[in-house]
Amino acid sequence: MIERADRESRLTEADHLSVRVWLRMLACTTLVERRAATRLRQNFATTLPRFDFLSQLERNGNGLRMTEISDRMMVTGGNITRIADQLESEGLIARSPAPGDRRASVVQLTPAGECAFVEMARRHEEWIVEMFAALDEHERRVLYAVLAKLKGHLAETERKR
């Protein structure tokens, strides 16, 4: 399959280094996400947003309100509701009224959802490790530290706005 050139491949040395770095990060993120999404679809007949939804619940065993899931995934409430409806119809999650708020619901994994997610998460981790195999441990640690520094800077400048 021939892939269209990404924005990064159109740059030259004359373009600002910060722009080149940003587009390289974007290209890598897109490639990793695309590969993970393809494998989730092929191996588990699911999507990356559904995987992310289940992941949020797995990390929060007492359940989450729909608005919390939406905030954590940085998507609209309508998208979350659509995913929740699908997962609930498949028996992977259960919704119950939120204590003290009849309008809100708390979502939790069902035992079937926990079982399904454990296998998906195990395989997903294998795929991510495989995708980063070109970097040795030291390179991964350096990249992680550099990205942490950038993330901190961006968060700080956002707070100052």
Share of the chain above pLDDT 90, in %: 76
Non-local (6+) Cβ contacts of 57 within 8 A are 63, 64, 69, 93, 107, 108, 109, 113, 117
Q: Indicate whether 5 pLDDT > 80.
A: no
| pLDDT value, residue 160 | 85
A 10 A CB-CB count for 119 gives 11
Q: Could you read off the pLDDT of 64-115 as tens digits, one per residue?
A: 999 999 999 988 888 899 999 999 999 999 999 988 887 889 999 999 999 9
- State if pTM tops 0.75: yes
Non-local (6+) Cβ contacts of 153 within 8 A are none
Q: How far apart, in whole angstroms, are the C-alpha atoms of residue 10 and residue 14?
A: 11
Q: Show me where the domains of the chain are located.
A: 46-156
Non-local (6+) Cβ contacts of 139 within 8 A are none
Measured CA to CA in angstroms, residue 52 lies from 3, 28, 99, 125 at distances of 26, 19, 25, 13
As its CATH architecture, domain 46-156 has Orthogonal Bundle (1.10)
Q: Could you read off the pLDDT of 113-150 as tens digits, one per residue?
A: 999 999 999 999 999 999 999 999 999 999 999 999 99
